[in-house]
Amino acid sequence: MAVQILHPLNKNVAASGAYENSCDRCGRAFSTVAHSFLTFTQQILAGDSWGEVSIPIIERYPSSYFIFWFVMCTVGMTVLNLIL
């Protein structure tokens, strides 16, 4: 889902120059399933770099917020269930 929906949006954000100085991996964060998995693992489980990739996409495409919210809630509840 992230590769099909978020990657084209992320490509447009990267082409606009939003990631030039801050992140060299951000432009390809959702290009493959492996990159998407790594990005979501970094953002949700590790809690790192949420603002580098997701915030610029959400600012330019507000409807993408629901995708990030769904992934965050789903993964968060799954991890919480495993811990409990």
pLDDT-derived band at 79 (thresholds 50, 70, 90) equals: confident
Residue 47 predicted with pLDDT over 80: no
Contact 58, 68 (CB under 8 A): yes
d(CA 71, CA 64): 11
Global pTM reads 0.84
d(CA 45, CA 72): 9
Q: Which distant-in-sequence residues (6+ apart) come within 8 Å of 54 by Cβ? A: 43, 68
